[in-house]
Structure 1
Amino acid sequence: MPFFQPPIASLPQNIDLSGQTAIVTGATAGIGLEICRQLLVGRVSNLIMAVRKISKGERVREALLAEPAVNGANPRATITVMKLDAASYSSVQRFASAYQKTFQDLHLIMANAGIGTSEKEMAPSRHEMDIQVNYLSNVLLTLTLLPILEATATKTGKAARVTWTGSRMYVKTSLLKKLPLQRGGEEGVLQHFDAARGLSMLQRYADSKLLCLLFQLELAERYPPNRVMINSFCPGLVDTGMTDTLPLYMRIPTNVMKALTARSPEKAGWIALNAAVIAGAETHGKLLGDMEVEDSSQFLKGIDGRAIQKRLWEDTIREIREMTNLPAWMTN
């Protein structure tokens, strides 16, 4: 990722999401809040804010509806606040179940919720927390709601969309040097990261984003984009509060870097919506760096990366199928 980030183009003025329903996770702050704002200005009809704290979500909902730009562009917009804690499989399941009972259609999922923990933590699933929040819960949410996405695409004659917030930091994965996965062994990919010790915050975050990209690459090989198109985007360094929880020795230099080069949340929103509503089928399964498809690293292209991609798919599907119904093509 370059120190000085290149300029990016603003979104076209003619985006019109009238009649569409979108889910945004991690919707109350930072990039997620800006995504919500820009979807509303783009005239999305139904916005579902998937949040950890309902009370905060309701305050943000009222503030969004009161914004002149939102009210002027989309005075009839409906915003619904629903609970979703990506640290918990059961919370994702409850959210998906409630959604299916309440809504008929789903045109877009923006899976934006994410974390970078300063110390290793374990989620209730006993998986490492970054991997649970940034990867596994996104998989469960996407695959559980895949049938309603497909049904919506059939009704409209246009592919539904799923976009995850990714990161080019995946190239810093611990698999390269620090803790490589055993070749040809019995060790599963998820098992490997659950047991990993001594990794830095950056490496654990990078590992979680690598898994996101590997899963989407494998999905795209098995599932064409004609009904549901899935991709991810990296907005670069953005001036949000996500770094506020960093240890002081990391927060100070990070804040200096943010002051010099970070993008505004508004520009990050442009990058997000470009991936979610403008980019074409050629981005299916791909990571967009800013607004262009990012070339895969040599690790991803190599024998080891390809093998890990297949092993991760098997591990993930084996786990997720215990919590939701999956189509036969995923489990074969």
Structure 2
Amino acid sequence: MARVVVTRPIIEEGLHPLRERYDLEVLNPVDTWDEDGLIAAAHDADALISMLSDPITARVLAACPKLRVVAQYAVGYDNIDLEAARARGIVVTHTPDVLTDATADFTWALLLTLIRKVREADRYVREGHFKRWETQLLLGHDLRDKTLGIVGLGRIGSAVARRALGFGMRVVYYNRRPANPTVERQSCARYVSFDELLAVSDVVSIHCPLNSESYHLFNQAAFAKMKPTAVLVNTARGPIVDEAALVEALEQEQIAGAALDVFEQEPKVHPGLLENDRVVLAPHLGSATVEARTAMARMCAEAVLAVLEGAEKIPYRLV
């Protein structure tokens, strides 16, 4: 019987098809896996359902000689050595599309929490300070007629842009190359250079993948080009933002605030962010809805089933 290892608990409903057919083990580590721990846990696995935090390196893949498929429980896959998997004939899949709306919605949740001071308001009421309505209490900002800058007009970026229309915002975007004209029309988004996006945006929202080009894309130089009234939202990948530079930009009032769901050295967070009241922080919740996470589990199970059953077509395949 083939052995399937899941590196941490996921919604059980999606795993039912695998439990019926294979030796399924769901691990429950107290911390993030390192290479040695992952090898010890999955050395005899035929299939591995992995998380973004799992180091699926060439060394790990080489130490799992039976492994036929890695099904990533995420859209991103920068934690997986795709070339090493390809060289060993290991299929790699992911979970595209299904978490688009959940992540786009959460982007707006973070933004609204930041600019309308929702966190401070909640604390104000809970601590017993609310005695009467005040004319200048916890004043935030409107979004209407402001400019939203999207860095990465892909599935999630375009979903965020479409939601901006309901708030009466203008939308500009930056990609390595212009998006499909249909996507531009649906989003009412205008293509600009990265420098122009930084200069004109009141809100900058990151939705690009992490790679050698996007690593520390938001650095000291980038923050210096932003409006002092602008805010940054990141629901993509932590290392796209140089956190030390972000802390400095906030302290120097080069930008007005930040809302972050991901971090450069996740789960560690720069102390300067933890101490700053103009920052909203979340523990990587972009896809955290019951619907999205259940669908992600089902997609991983579908991919594993297809590979282990020898199907001609593998769904959600990267390699």
TM-score for both structures, normalised by structure 1: 0.34
TM-score for both structures, normalised by structure 2: 0.35
Tell which structure's C-alpha radius of gyration is larger: 2
